[in-house]
Structure 1
């Protein structure tokens, strides 16, 4: 009977936690919907455009801080805050390198979080699949970098951009690899979505394909999806102890 009561209690806890999490995510859904509704032209950079673009990610940072506390500033919450700064930089094309540097710091913070005990590793069988996918990602990343090299060399800032992009690609693939090896599927999908978003962005920024409204929509949809999944994964990870047991609390 005790086992049945414990199981019923855990189900109620999960249901209550899901409802509370959904309420905390409402600011993200509203602000991201506002971004797509306004769809401010890229050729009209402004502080208002920057605020609209970064507000969904800032709302996620508040969510993670509310659930996991100040220590998350050295993890996912900090990564989200740096990502929001990167969003602001990318509003102005001349700040592209600054934005890339800020996002690089965000990936480092994500990596730090994914290496913690809260993100315990997968089982051996699942880890094998994640390892195969990780190797594929690294090989794809190396191939993509060399494919982009001729396009990078046409730019006036190629002397700085070429090595900077190499470092950035190493960091984002490392972040995605670590995400794949956590026990949280939402985190893994979030890492992959972030990688897809950056790939779509780089193809447009570096002139591989012509920038289109549809291309921007792909970039931002996968980007916001990545950030919300990483944030939700961190909230879930924060509700478990180091040995994988659920904490007896609501969120």
Structure 2
């Protein structure tokens, strides 16, 4: 097969892959739309509310598992499932610390995935360092801004340490995402930080809790998880396997 035929075949493969990926993501788009349509008040926690909130992320985990197999349970698919568990816990305010713990595990799994050979993380460079510095400044700045209010919470010692540890993990995850040099992965991690920091400012009474604030948190959260999932699905494709180029001889 000559070069022109190979290029044409590759383009057809990429188009077919994009269409199939979009169709695979339809459950996510439908379930996340259902969440915003129903918009169950936070004052009415229930098993139904927990299901409506968590199904979009569970559907993303199913997509990643479909493409990457069981190995992704120790990476992005596992992170998505733990995130869904965190979503369920956060429906009930008294389970906040459990939700925080599950999301922390999710970030550990995301970080492990970004370090894997599938992502081929680039060596630490001046560009990576330059892009990572604002992330650490943002994380540290928001934490110290919240610190006085954290000290006013019940079990202040536990909450203060838990939030500090969580902040460290999410910023580390975003820093490792920078090293992958994958726009979807990096943007997803950055938006995840914005979503979680916005949520923290509301939970710990640094800003008023309003419907618009919740909408911002959930919109950015679902977008972040979508980008991270798509980045993982296409990771092999960029290197010529999985969803990417398959040359015919």
Q: TM-score range by the shorter chain?
A: over 0.9
Question: What count of residue pairs does the alignment treat as equivalent?
Answer: 247
Alpha-carbon distance in structure 1 between the residues aligned to 2:38 and 2:184: 28
Residue 79 (structure 1) aligns with: 79
Give the aligned partner of residue 21 of structure 2.
21
Q: Deviations over 1:103-148 (max 9, x none)?
A: 0000000000000111123588xx5333212011112211221111
Distance in 2 of aligned mates of 1:238 and 1:115: 14
Listed as ranges, the matches of 1:51-66 within 5 Å are: 51-66=51-66
The normalised TM-score by structure 1 is 0.94
TM normalised by structure 2 equals 0.94
**5+ long unaligned stretches in structure 1:** none
Partner of 1:33: 33
Equivalences for residues 37-186 of structure 1 within 5 A: 37-122=37-122, 127-186=125-184
Task: Give the 4+ runs in structure 1 shifted more than 6 A.
Answer: 242-245
Contact 1:120-1:242 within 8 A present in 2 as well:
no
Deviation of 1:241 after TM superposition, in Å, equals 4.2
Distance 2:62 2:186 in 1: 21
Gaps of 5+ in 2: none
SS in 2 for 1:155: coil
What root-mean-square deviation, in Å, do the aligned CA atoms of Structure 1 and Structure 2 show?
A: 1.9
Query: What is the DSSP-based 3-state SS (H/G/I as helix, E as strand, rest coil) of the residue aligned with 2:180?
Result: coil
Residue 202 of structure 1 pairs with residue 200 of structure 2: yes
